[in-house]
A = this chain, B = another copy of it.
Amino acid sequence: MELTGRQNLVLKKIYDYILVNSYPPSIRELAGMLYINSPRGISDHLYSLERKGYIERRSSARSIKLTWKALQILGQNTEKEALYLPLVGRIAAGRPVLAEENIEDHIPFPADMIRGNADFALRVHGDSMIGDHILNGDIIAVRSQPVAENGDIVVALIDDEAVVKRYYRKEKHVELRSSNPKYMPMLMKSDPIIQGKVVAVQRALR
């Protein structure tokens, strides 16, 4: 899924525009920059860029979002030292994790530790993941993703509550396991809602 030369140029133009204006370009503005005479010409490129995972879009004006993958090849992530992740207070089912009303704070993580690859932070409640050395009160960095691989430490939604567990897909069900033996594995007949994968941990001592 590599970019063609033209797609690469479009991506660079988007990046340049954002650097100058701090908000993304419209389709016709991009067309103008690239001397393309039809919005469809840009639309095609944007579909390709999205399909290949370099941008994300919603269907509203200027809603282009560069992904981590794009920022990497655009050579942006190298000089960042601290990356601020929004600390989400409560995750409710059916609402986007990063709804503004959920954001309580912003927590710095070393950029190279999460390699630009995390979307929000969460405070851990309880000792169910003590076997993985994730303790009550720890702040975890989470990468948003709706699926997980076996053994991943994930944030899942159980009864409107965000829980941190290890994910295991079995033949007939999904198991969410604590790493503290005093908690039983949760057997889910229906697939649980996965909010993301835990990629880093921070803890204050004392």
Contacts and interface: CB of A to CB of B under 8 A. Distances in A.
Interface of A: 13, 16-17, 19-24, 26, 33, 60-66, 78-82, 84, 86, 96, 98-100, 103, 105-110, 113-114, 130, 133-135, 139, 153, 198-206
Nearest to A19: B86
A82 B21 CA distance: 19
A64 B23 contact: yes
Total identical chains: 2
A24 B21 CA distance: 11
A100 B16 contact: yes
Contacts of A203: 133, 200-202
Contacts of A21: 63, 65
A202 B199 contact: no
A205 B86 contact: no
A20 B99 CA distance: 8
26 contacts: A13-B100, A17-B100, A20-B99, A20-B100, A22-B24, A22-B66, A23-B62, A26-B60, A61-B61, A79-B84, A80-B107, A81-B82, A81-B84, A81-B106, A82-B108, A108-B110, A109-B202, A114-B204, A130-B133, A198-B205, A200-B202, A200-B203, A200-B204, A200-B205, A201-B201, A202-B203
